[in-house]
Amino acid sequence: MSIKDNYQLAKKEYEKWGVNVDEALEKLKSVPISIHCWQGDDVGGFEVNQQELSGGIDVTGNYPGKATTPEELRSDLEIALSLIPGKHRVNLHAIYAETDGEVVERDELKPKHFEKWVNWAKEQGIGLDFNPTLFSHAKADDGLTLAHPDKDIRDFWIRHCIASREIAAFFGKELGSPALTNIWIPDGYKDIPSDRLTPRQRLKNSLDEIFQVEIDEKYNIDAVESKLFGIGSEAYVVGSHEFYMGYALKNNKLCLLDTGHYHPTEMVSNKISAMLLYSEKLALHVSRPVRWDSDHVVILDDELKEIGLEIVRNDALDKVMIGLDFFDASINRVAAWTIGTRNMIKSLLYALLVPNEHLKQLQEEGNFTERLAIMEEFKTYPFGAIWDYYCEKMGVPVKESWLKDVKSYEKEILSTRD
């Protein structure tokens, strides 16, 4: 049978439960995923005075073909975008500026250093998001930035974050879609601190100063991202979840939840509904921690499905800004983007095909037996046939056939790189 025939049969199965499959696919088309550029070059960036990766970030593997120039990175992203259904976004870090060989300090970055990215985004018909880069720099070598006791160092990073917000606003104006500017810092201590409050007070003051510069939310949306621990900050991180949740709610900023930044038994899916009660919007960085914040490529595991379900069942597709954050140098990097992004979209489609209102009613009635039975049975409903049809309809490869394109690109392009 054809893909469409399989789709029609599967559609009837879902329609028995009142699921409008065509409507689900239309909703899915409107959801952009922000794809992180740093998977393509192992979080290296293109600074003239490029420094060693730091801030508790580590990329393992030496698969050939990593991007070493902005042109190569954009080319790789184009291939990945052509294999992923829907219109999406690309997320940049400040270290991906293009300065034409000139050394430009991060606190002096301007929109002009990202004009090529904006022109490329216009050609692709996509939006851009942004992150100040507060790692891999001499002024972050001791593991402190916005919370640093040295005012000169704090001021440097404050200026960098202000410059980053202005760059993001440039993206928003030029591309007609507001950029999300997410602030994450590595600040913390390796061993047990004798004073947890003072660094957090400094971080709060730094953030207050950064956000004193008003930027129209039509062009830029601010977010802050927490972390439980990192390499070199095992005992204490200044910007904890509680710190940033409080700061975001009090100052009308988005709280960004990274799925790798919590205790291994702590599920971000469980936080989404709680956060949405108090904040109009929420941001995610979806990753896959294995034992620690290891940023493995996103797979369609139980937690990813649950994240999709929490977003969909709470009618939050337009309230949760979904971004990805993983980097694996042990496999083909274009394939990593493709696998991870397609899986994120699959989780949303899976959730859109579940009879969520019926299950909610069963729970309200206390009918937990039927609730569990239906939730489990839907795991083997013909979801794959719907996904295949969606991919075909959106003009991207069906099933694993996208691997042919990646293998061809690797043979013709990636294998020629030094």
Q: Which residues are catalytic?
A: 184, 225, 227, 258, 261, 285, 293, 295, 325
**First CA to last CA across the chain, in angstroms?**
45
Return the bridge partners of 233, or none. Answer: 230
Cβ atoms < 10 Å from Cβ of 354: 24
What type of residue sits at position 8?
Q
Contact predicate 331/289, CB 8 Å:
no
Q: Using CA atoms, how far apart are residues 179 and 164, in angstroms rounded to an integer?
A: 11
Residue of 286, 384, 297, 380 lying closest to 338 (CA atoms): 297
SS3 assignment, position 75: helix
Contact predicate 11/65, CB 8 Å:
no
CA 375 to chain centre: 28
Q: Using CA atoms, how far apart are residues 193 and 84, in angstroms rounded to an integer?
A: 45
Cβ atoms < 10 Å from Cβ of 368: 10
Cβ atoms < 10 Å from Cβ of 339: 24
